[in-house]
Structure 1
C-alpha cells in the first residue's frame, strides 16, 4: 500500500498494517479478500467446534449461520466505520453465544474488530464494546443460562471467564503497541517530509545567493562600461572599443557561471563542470573591477581553504567590490586577507564618499553576505569607517580541513 505526498507528489511506502486504517478515503477498496477468508474460517471452524461440542450446545441452524455471517461480514467496513463495526460484531457474538450455539471462532470476529478500532484510536469504543461483551457473557454463563438453550446447561467456570478476560487484555495490548508504532511511523514520515522541504528551501536560497552575486557583479561592470562606451563613442572610439571588449568578457563569464548554477537544477547530484570560485581567483576580480574603473589593491595571500569557506569568501569580496562600484564615488578599494587564530578575516575598504544615486540593485547584497557568513558560523560588519568611506569586515572560522590545508600549504612552501 502506498500513499502520495500532497505537496511533493512523492510516493511513500505505507506501513504493513495500512489495511487497518480508519481514515482510508471513501473511494478506496474494501478489504474483500481478507473478509471472505475470515468469514469462511469462522463458519467452517464453528462447524468443527459444533461437532466436538455435540450434546453440550445447540446445533448450528439458520439463525446461527446468519449471526456468524453478520459478525464476520461486518468486518468488511472496519476501515471506514470502525466504531459501528466493533459494536455490531460484539452484539452478534453475544447473541450467538446467548442462544447456546457452540463456542468457536466467533470470538475472532470481535478480536479483529476491536484490534482495528483500537489501532484507529477509538479506545473508548473498544473498551465499551469489550466490556459489554464480557459482561453479557458473564450474565449468560452464570445466571441466564437457566432460561436459555440448550436445556440442562450448567454454569460456566470462573476460570473460563479469567481466560476470556486475559485474551481481551492481550488483544488490547497488542493493538496499542501497533497503534503506537503506527503513530511513530506517521511522525517519522512527517519529519522526513519536513526535512526534505527544508533542504529544498536551503538549496533554493543557495542558488538565489549564487545568482545574485554573479549577476550583480557582472551587470554592474557591464553597466559602468556601457556608460563609458556611450560617452566616448564619438570622441574616443578606441576607448569605447575597450569598454565593449570588457562588456563582452564580463557577460561571457556571467553566462558561464549562471549556466553552472542552473546545471545543478537540471541534473541534481551531478558533479559541476568547473570548479567553484575561491580566493585563488582574486586576480580576476581585480581585473574585472579595473574594467569598471575601480583600482583594487590586495594585501595578503589567498590561503587554501575548505571549498565551502573558499566560495563564501570569494562571494563576500565580490559583493563588497560590486557595492563599491555601485554606491561609492571612490575609484580605489583595498582588500586585506588575514588568517590567524583559526579565523579568516576579509576587509574591503573604499575612500567614499557615497554617490547617493540609485544603482539599480536589489538591496540584498549585505543580507546575502551576512547569510553566507552566518551559515559558516562567522559574522559580517559593514558600515562607514572613521577615516571616511565604507568598510566591510568578514570574520569566518576555519574548518579543520581548512587548517590542515593551511599547514600543508606552508609545509610545501618550506619543502620548495
Structure 2
C-alpha cells in the first residue's frame, strides 16, 4: 500500500470520524481489507463506534469484542482474518481501535497505526478550536438577542413611561412592553437551562418543545422512540435537535418538518427533515451552528450528516452509540 498517499489523505481530515473513514476507504481500495470498523476509546476504556461496516458480514458480530481485547492488552489482536489494531502511544490508553477484515494473505502497513495517531491528534486539536468558536458564537447570539429583543422592548417601555407622566392612559402600553420583555428573558432562560429536560427526560422535553415550536406555523411531525440515556447525552442530543429546528425556521422557508428518533441494535439514530428550499452543499459555507452540532454528536462517539439540494429540502441525520 502507498503510505505516502495514506499520509497525505489523513493530513487533510478535519475530524476523527473523517480520519477513520479515509483510512478504511484507502485500505479497501488497496486490496488490503474487505471492510472494517473503528472505535474511539473513552474514559474507563469504554468504546464508542466511529465507523461501522457498510455491509452485513461476519466482522460486525465480532468487532466490538476484538476491539475490547486489543484495548485491554494494549496490542493488536488477531483472530482468523480479523485484526484489531489499537492506535495510541506505548504504555498509554489507546485513543482508538481499528478492526479490520483482511483479505487473504494481506497485512496492513506497519506505518498505519503511527499515521492514524498523528492524524487523530491533529483532528482533535482542530475540533477543540471549532468547538470554542461555536461556543463563542453562541454567547454572541445570546448577547444579540438580549440587546435586540429585550433591550429594545425595555427602551420602548422607558419611552412610553416618560410619555405616561403626562398621559396616564399610556401606562397599560408600558406594562405590556415590560411583560413582553420579561417573557423574552424567560424564553432565553429556558433555552439555556432546559428545565424540562431535567424534570421530564429527553422524549417528554422534546414533545413539549415541539408543541411550542409549531406555533410558528410549521406543520410538525414527530416520531420519537427514546430509550433511557445519561443526562449529558440527553442534553447534547436536545441541543442538536434544537439547532436543526432553529435552522429550519430561519432559512428553510418550509411548510413541514419531521423529527424522528429511533433505536437500531446498539445505536440511537435521529433525523430532522424539512420540505423547504434546500441549498447547494458545495457552494454554501459550513455554518457555526452545523459545526456545533457535529462537535456534540462526535463528542458522543457518533456521526452527523447533512443532505440538501436546491428545491429539495434539507435532512440532518445522526447516529450515536447507546
TM-score of Structure 1 vs Structure 2, range by shorter chain? 0.3 to 0.5
Q: Which structure carries more strand by proportion?
A: 2
Q: Which structure carries more helix by proportion?
A: 1
Specify the structure having the higher radius of gyration (Cα): 1
TM norm structure 2: 0.40
Greater RCO between the two (CA within 8 Å, min separation 6)?
Answer: 2
